[in-house]
Structure 1
């Protein structure tokens, strides 16, 4: 078994989503002590935003790769392989300006690969990357209704992972973090109760 932890918050020790990803990591490694843990910090080691070479390396057949695509293929494919080899994926996803951090979007861009994680057929899109549990550690300064006005964070993540076939998807969320320490403490306590049930 493999557990993958993704952190994307750029607020360091003040990050609430990182407190959640740590609590989730502690929970799942205690539950599955023999699991291999893989961690990717998208702030300390950011992925470049995709360009022509990286898009081609991800999406084009290897026999169609240019020299530039060949140079980046291994590092691009490693991100996808890391995800596909994981049974549990913990994703730290704070809300930044009503959506996800750009460094997290760069990671997602490596996961949506035609014919590998999704395909189009007679009945429309078919996700191919199911069979794993994905838990989103979400933190937000206010309280936002999923799919409501100005909420493009949890909705985006639910749509994205559903698109590639993930049905075992959970959100552990701290809302109202902008309202001060007491609100954060209450949110974290509630989130930890949710984590204990996973």
Structure 2
């Protein structure tokens, strides 16, 4: 099994979402792990990125290739994974901006999804995603929590439809999240 771990907390020390991701990964003894730590920074898409994505691969200039280099790496990491573990704090009722930038780099027409006469079709099928989230008091699924519906939709759009959420809202939520993670091993 190959795991892609995506960490999006700005905190490396004392991050609850990272600790929960550690626990999820520990349930998969012997797995190989690739880690992408978004706190190290990730470029936002820009005009060069957009131009390059709409240029056929055989016609891309060196500048186009450079504009897509991070995206190409991110896409390859997800394509190679059997399991994607996303550690995510809930900031202001939603996902961190770095996680949004990662999604923007991943979502590429003709690469991770394509359009058909019947609508869009995701191209990243057959992978499981576990999102572990932590917040000071915004539980997964609350009317005012926008992270999980957004992630479910956008990941599903790219074919990642097997998405589970384990959330820790406050101290009492941490205990329940740890129980949920232990249940993964059962």
Size of the alignment, in residue pairs? 184
Cα distance change on mapping 1:96 and 1:59 into 2, 3 Å: farther
SS in 1 for 2:114: strand
2:139–2:168: 8 Å Cα contact kept in structure 1? no
For residue 64 of structure 1, what is the aligned residue in structure 2?
59
TM-score (norm 2): 0.90
CA distance in 2, matches of 1:47, 1:125: 26
RMSD over equivalenced CA pairs, Å: 1.8
1:131 aligns with 2:126: yes
For residue 148 of structure 2, what is the aligned residue in structure 1?
154
Segments of 5+ residues of structure 2 without an aligned counterpart are: none
TM-score (norm 1): 0.85
Cα distance change on mapping 1:95 and 1:59 into 2, 3 Å: farther
In the TM superposition, 1:37-186 aligns within 5 A as 37-43=33-39, 45-144=40-139, 146=141, 148=143, 150-175=144-169, 177=170, 184=171, 186=172
1:58–1:110: 8 Å Cα contact kept in structure 2? no
Aligned with 1:192 (options 158, 168, 178)? 178
Cα distance change on mapping 1:18 and 1:58 into 2, 3 Å: farther
Task: Report the CA distance between 1:145 and its aligned residue.
Answer: 6.0
